Amino acid sequence: MARIAVDTGLAHLDRPFDYFVPSTLDAETVPGCRVKVRFAGRLVDGFVIDRVDTTDHEGRLAFLAKVVSPEPVLHPEVIALARTVADRYAGTLGDVLRLAIPPRHARTEAVVRDATDLELPPASHGDWQPYEHGEGFIDALRAGDTPRAWWTAVPGGDPARAVAAAVLATLESGRGSVVCVPDVRDVARWDAVFTEVLGEGHHVALTAAMSPAARYRSFLAASRGEVQVVLGTRAAAFAPIRSLGLVAMWDDGDDLYAEPRAPYPHGREVLLLRATEQRTALLIGGYARTAEGQSLVDSGWCVGLAATSDVRRASWPRVEVTSGSSAGSAPARLPHEVFRAIRATTGAVLIQVPRRGYRVSLACQDCRHPARCAPCQGPLVQTSASAPLACRWCGTKVDSWECAECHGHTLRSPVVGALRTAEEFGRAFADLKVITSGGESIVDTVPAGRVLVLATPGAEPRVEGGYELVVLLDTWLMLAREDVRVDEEAHRRWFNALALAGPGGTAIAVGDPATLQALVRADPVGFAARELASRAETHLPPTARLATIDAPDDVLTELAARTWTPHTEVLGPVPVDSRSAESGERLILRSPRREGAALAAELKACVAERSAAKLQGLRIQVDPPAL
């Protein structure tokens, strides 16, 4: 007999099932292989969890229909992790396994490589010397210990090289590593650094953007034990590594780590669960620190790795904050301080602009009323100097606009994008080459020299030797979104931009001096502590557990009356989309952190009840990244 995880797609059947194994398939049916079974009259996919001699099922057992492949791709530690993640996020095992195991590629699977013993290059502590206890952390990994650290990096070194040194120390202890970075651009850069530090053949890259054959080849290399190190994006958190010793992540606050498919797990939480279950070392780092990281450091679950105050102040660029206004005048978007600083530079200048477009917000010049589309009342925008006005929602072009309030015909732009800003700087600095990066046109690197780079957050290119000047424009706009994490996200993007400054570089931030004090003090840890205290006051994650349920209003009214856990608060229902009352409703559940597991279990039970009754499904997110 075989115990099989069957992908039924039904929450009330989220459990393994036992099947008889025909004698003709006995040798091929190994734990972890892909199979086909007959379930409710149709053939469905599944994975063999284990071979068993007895069953608790009282009725007749069906026979296994087919072994798709005898290749064991689902390992015991991965299925245990997938089960934990499913329970943590009130999801099903099948949904998590679809995230963890890439689709099969038969031709790639047929290729068997000979095992080769590769020598490791000598290790170095150099990249960890600026950090208190940094060298001790590397020594502990080399000795086979399992230290857990939340690392606050400082500019000047390459974080990819520092993490590679930690991975190399782990390899020397005979153990493997999983390393996650935000996107494929990061994977490409870190992959080159890992090859240089670890040597050829010791690691593979694993991302969903790879071709099916290349992705499955990398997955099989880890599954078969051909490599002990996997570097990838969020899905790599589930990579099967033999003798796993270290899980690592860079820039855990990046929203790309939030899985957009059910059950919507966050890559950071997957690695935290894996480190706990498999008792591995942990290294999560970034130039900024999240409230989740600060919470774990404060609790003593992990230690904080940071540079001394002298090293920290010397490493970060000196930041000047200007409101853009002079005595008796309104604030200027492009203050004189910025122009003066650019004129004084001899090297590269980075200007971070929150929005990519041209004129991304329009209003009446006379009465300041927002310019709206007549058919749908959506906001009007302009994509270029020669483009007509168009609605951001429905795309309707507007040839002749008149204000609905005062009947004026002159427009102003309260929010200007990177492309319009590039035009303005191009006219002001005709002797400088202006490069833009953002949206679908991202530049990875720019040549050293006197160049002006305008980039949106996350699209800042690198320059050899770093930028001489970094300018943060429209900081108020970064904070304008109504979201729980808006302050944290804005500071993360600002610190990431400032970290691109070269030795002795300077920076100017245009905004409210009181709001930007963490940048002036180069104190991401202090900001994280204040952010965590703010979350505690408002009972928001990570100090509490939050869940959202999206469904029609009549369903949510019934669920709002349900008792979830003894101390769960029910908020709502509220409209999901303010643009339309027909976009659905949302119920928000908030419980103390100690009742988080119980709340997830109640949510799963609710979904299972509706699934068994063949009622409409619910969209549930536990600790959503945005609210």
The verdict on residue 116 lying in a domain is no
The verdict on residue 120 lying in a domain is no
User: Are 513 and 548 in a shared domain?
Assistant: no
Residue 550 CA: distances (Å) to CA of 235, 554, 565, 601: 25, 11, 19, 18
User: Are 227 and 143 in a shared domain?
Assistant: yes
Q: What is the pLDDT of residue 182?
A: 97
**Which among 484, 87, 521 has a CA at the least distance from the CA of 290?**
484
Q: What is the pLDDT of residue 416?
A: 67
The verdict on residue 108 lying in a domain is no
540 pLDDT higher than 70: yes
Domain containing 488 — which CATH number? 3.40.50
Read out DSSP for 443-512?
A: -SEE-SSSEEEEE-TT-PPEETT-EEEEEE--HHHHT-S--TTHHHHHHHHHHHHHTTEEEEEEEEEES-
Indicate the pLDDT class of residue 485, thresholds 50, 70 and 90: very high
249 phi, psi to nearest 5 deg: -150, 140
116 pLDDT higher than 80: no
H or E element that contains 525: helix 524-538
The verdict on residue 117 lying in a domain is no
Q: What is the pLDDT of residue 582?
A: 46
User: Are 385 and 487 in a shared domain?
Assistant: yes
Indicate the pLDDT class of residue 329, thresholds 50, 70 and 90: very low
Indicate the pLDDT class of residue 577, thresholds 50, 70 and 90: low
User: Are 305 and 342 in a shared domain?
Assistant: no
Residues 160-214: pLDDT tens digits?
A: 999 999 999 999 999 999 999 999 999 999 999 999 999 999 999 999 999 999 9
Residues 6+ apart with CB under 8 A from 343: 429
User: Are 365 and 333 in a shared domain?
Assistant: yes
- CB burial string 369-380: b at 16+ within 10 A, e below: eebbbeeeebbb
Indicate the pLDDT class of residue 119, thresholds 50, 70 and 90: confident
Phi-psi bin for 614: left (phi > 0), alpha (psi -120 to 50), beta? left
Q: What's the CA dihedral at 18, 22, 24, 28 to 10 degrees?
A: 10
The verdict on residue 618 lying in a domain is yes
The verdict on residue 112 lying in a domain is no
Strands 359-364 and 229-232: unpaired
More confident call, 216 vs 572:
216
User: Are 166 and 263 in a shared domain?
Assistant: yes
User: Are 410 and 294 in a shared domain?
Assistant: no
User: Are 295 and 383 in a shared domain?
Assistant: no
H or E element that contains 360: strand 359-364
The verdict on residue 114 lying in a domain is no
Strands 229-232 and 34-39: unpaired
Mean pLDDT of the region 451-476: 93
Question: Which of 516, 535, 554 lies at the terminal end of a domain, its last residue?
Answer: 535
Domain containing 267 — which CATH number? 3.40.50.300
User: Are 241 and 150 in a shared domain?
Assistant: yes
Give the SS3 label for residue 373.
coil
Mean pLDDT of the region 223-247: 96
Q: What percent of the chain has pLDDT over 70?
A: 96
Structurally, the chain folds into a number of domains equal to 4
Indicate the pLDDT class of residue 333, thresholds 50, 70 and 90: low
User: Are 374 and 514 in a shared domain?
Assistant: yes
Q: What is the pLDDT of residue 332?
A: 59
Q: What is the pLDDT of residue 62?
A: 93
Q: What is the mean pLDDT of the chain?
A: 91
* Residue 550 belongs to domain spanning: 544-622
Question: Which of 70, 103, 136 lies at the terminal end of a domain, its last residue?
Answer: 103
76 pLDDT higher than 70: yes
User: Are 96 and 202 in a shared domain?
Assistant: no
Question: Which of 535, 566, 595 lies at the terminal end of a domain, its last residue?
Answer: 535
User: Are 523 and 613 in a shared domain?
Assistant: no
Q: What percent of the chain has pLDDT over 90?
A: 73
Which amino acid would we find at residue 446?
Answer: V
Residues 137-155: pLDDT tens digits?
A: 999 999 999 999 999 999 9
The answer to which of 194-203, 324-333, 348-357, 587-596 has the lowest mean pLDDT is: 324-333
The verdict on residue 118 lying in a domain is no
CB 619 within 8 A of CB 585: no
Q: What is the pLDDT of residue 580?
A: 42
Mean pLDDT of the region 395-412: 85
